Amino acid sequence: MSLERIGFFVDGSNWYHACVAIGLRGLSRLNFPRMFAALAGRSAWTFARYYVGRVTRSGGHQRALNQERFLDALRAQDPRISVHLGRIESRPVVNEAAIELKRYLSSLRVRIAPSVYRDLLRIAEAHDRSVVMVEKAVDVQIAVDIVTLAERDAYDTAFLLSADGDLTPAVAAAKEDGRRVIVASPARSAQLASAADRYLHLRRAWFTGLFD
């Protein structure tokens, strides 16, 4: 009887923020092979693919350096772990609340203290436009790999470490190909929970003993 082949697909950014949200700290010390083994149980895992948007030096030298160090350390934990990089792009964002505040101040008929008016206007102008960093091409890579590797018969069971509902179609497609898909995350996702064979909601206590 052949052994079950288990593959891990880790949505790095989604996983990180879900862990932070439940109060986990020192995530750079998380032992991923030990965690994969805890999830896989008696079965041995075959591969693990970690996906994240690449921080460029233009996005902050120290942030880029920290990410490089983390990814190098992650690869060094086990040769079965591979890293797959997407992009991080800047996107302009309009703050509707700040715009509305400026509009309100310009039409204000009630006299208020000049200093208060100036402070409110300064706050509105400082925040009416901003730039956010958006991760790109990561979800697509994960979805394509889950489906493609299922079609190539590379795994029997996939563990998806993410709570991103956008990955639901990929989970459904892998199951149609006869694969078992288990989703695990500290966060909740009704969409993924309904599509997966099993959804593991990981609480903070579950991570005990998984840090170096």
Q: Splitting the chain (212 residues) into consecutive groups of 10 residues, what average pLDDT does each group show? A: 86 96 96 98 95 80 90 97 87 76 83 84 79 75 97 97 97 98 97 97 98 96
Three-state SS string across 20-47, please?
Answer: HHCCCCCHHHECHHHHHHHHHCCCCEEE
Classify residue 155 as exposed, middle or buried by CB count within 10 Å of its CB (0-12, 13-18, 19+).
buried
Task: Give dist(CA 204, CA 22) in Å, integer.
Answer: 6
Map tokens 């010390």 to a residue: 29
Question: pLDDT value at position 1?
Answer: 45
Q: Are 46 and 6 a contacting pair, CB within 8 Å?
A: yes
Strand partners, 86: 53
pTM check: above 0.85: no
- Amino acid at position 53, single letter: G
Backbone φ and ψ of 198, nearest 5°? -155, 145
CATH number for region 6-93+137-207: 3.40.50.1010
Task: Give dist(CA 103, CA 113) in Å, integer.
Answer: 18
